[in-house]
Structure 1
Amino acid sequence: EGKVPEPEAFDDDDLEFASAIKNRWRRYVELMYKARLKAASEHIVALAEEGNRYLNRRAPWKAVKENRGEAAAILFNAFRCGAALVYMLKPLTPRSSQRFAEMMGIKNAEFSDDEPPRIDSGIRISKPSLVFRKLPKELVESLLDEGKREKLLAQVKEEVSKDRPEFLRF
C-alpha cells in the first residue's frame, strides 16, 4: 500500500525483536559516546543481520495471505528496525543515511539515548532507488591484491595532493 502498516497486535517473537532493536540501539549509543566507531559499526551490522533473520523467519509475504494483522506487525517491526539503522548510520555515512530516510519517509523521528526512533504507522514510503553503486570488479581486485593496492593508494595520494596548496601536500 506504500505506507507503514498499523499493527494490530504483537506476538512474543515480535516483542523479542523489538527488544533486540532497543538493546542494540542502547549499546550503539554507549559505544558512540566512547568514540568506539568500529564497535558501534559492528552493532549496526548485527542489527541489520537480526532484521534479516526476523524477516526470513516471519515471512510477511506468506503471512499477508493468511493473517493481514500478523503481516502488519511484522512489517511495522521491520520498518522500526530500518529506521533505527538509518539513525545509527547517520554519523558514519550522512548522505547515504539521508537518502534512506527520504525513501522511508522519515523526517524527524523522536529518539533518545535509551529509545530508538519512534515510528508511527501511516508514513508514506517512496519508491526504492539505489543508494550505493557497485564497485567495478577491477577496483575490488586491486584492493584485494596487496601490491596493486599500494600502487593504487599512491596514485590516489598523488591525485589528491595535486589539488592541494603546496603547504598541505604530503
Structure 2
Amino acid sequence: GPGLVPDPGVLEEADQEMVQRTESALERVGASLEACRFREALQGAMALAHEANRYLDAKAPWRQVREDMGAAARTLSTALYAISGLKTMTYSFLPFSAQRLHELLGLSGSVEEAGWTIQAPQPDISMPTPQPLFKKLDLSEVQEQASRLGGSNAAGSS
C-alpha cells in the first residue's frame, strides 16, 4: 500500500550535510544549465545521486528501522529531500521520469509549476506504491542497439 513520509524530527550532522549537498548541487546544476553546459549539469545531478546512494548505504535504514525508528525516519526523510532535488535537476533531461518521481513523492501539480526548487516532502503525506522508473539495462541489449546504429562506434568493436 501507500507509504507515509516520515517526520524526521531534528536532523543529525550527516543528515544536514546531505541536505546541504543537495542544495549546493541544485545551485551548481542550475548555473550549468543557464550556461548551456548540459553535460556538466547532468554530471552534477549524477554526482548527487551517487552521494545519496552512499548516504543510504552508510545509514542503512533497513537496519535502523529495527533499532531506532527516529534514525530511520531522519534517514528516509533526508533521502526523499535529495530525491526531490534530483527530480528538479533532471527535469530538463528526463521530463517524464522527473514528473513520475514528483508524483511518487506525493507532490501535486507539475515539476515545471514547482520551479527550480527543492520541495521537501511533507511529513505524513501519503506516497503511492513506488514503481521502478527505469528498466534495468542488459549489456547485451545495449550492444545490440549500438551495433544496429551501425558503424565503427558500435560497443564491443575496436
The TM-score normalised by the length of structure 1 is: 0.76
Tell me, in whole angstroms, the C-alpha distance in 2 between the residues paired with 1:36 and 1:118. Answer: 27
How many residue pairs match? The answer is: 149
Q: Which amino acid aligns with 1:73?
A: R
Structure 2 runs not aligned, ≥5 long = 152-158
Aligned equivalent of 2:149: 149
Tell me, in whole angstroms, the C-alpha distance in 2 between the residues paired with 1:14 and 1:4. Answer: 16
Aligned equivalent of 2:154: none
The alpha-carbon deviation at position 48 of structure 1 amounts to 0.5
Q: How does 1:1-170 map to 2 (within 5 A)?
A: 2-108=3-109, 116-134=118-136, 138-145=140-147, 148-150=148-150
- Larger radius of gyration between Structure 1 and Structure 2: 1
Query: In structure 1, the residue corresponding to 2:4 is in which secondary structure?
Result: coil
Query: In structure 2, the residue corresponding to 1:101 is in which secondary structure?
Result: helix
CA contact (8 A) 2:106 2:121 kept: no
Identity of aligned residues (%): 28
Distance 1:112 1:93, change over 3 A: closer
Query: In structure 2, the residue corresponding to 1:117 is in which secondary structure?
Result: coil
The alpha-carbon deviation at position 136 of structure 1 amounts to 6.2
CA contact (8 A) 2:105 2:121 kept: no
1:102-144 deviations in Å (ceiling 9; x for gaps): 222122589675x533332122111122322345655412345
Coordinate RMSD, CA, aligned = 2.5
Q: Which amino acid aligns with 1:116?
A: I
Tell me, in whole angstroms, the C-alpha distance in 1 between the residues paired with 2:71 and 2:136. Answer: 35
Distance 1:12 1:125, change over 3 A: same
Q: Which amino acid aligns with 2:128?
A: S
Query: In structure 2, the residue corresponding to 1:10 is in which secondary structure?
Result: coil
Q: Which amino acid aligns with 2:118?
A: P
Tell me, in whole angstroms, the C-alpha distance in 2 between the residues paired with 1:59 and 1:128. Answer: 19
Tell me, in whole angstroms, the C-alpha distance in 1 between the residues paired with 2:32 and 2:88. Answer: 14
Tell me, in whole angstroms, the C-alpha distance in 2 between the residues paired with 1:134 and 1:61. Answer: 22
Query: In structure 1, the residue corresponding to 2:3 is in which secondary structure?
Result: coil
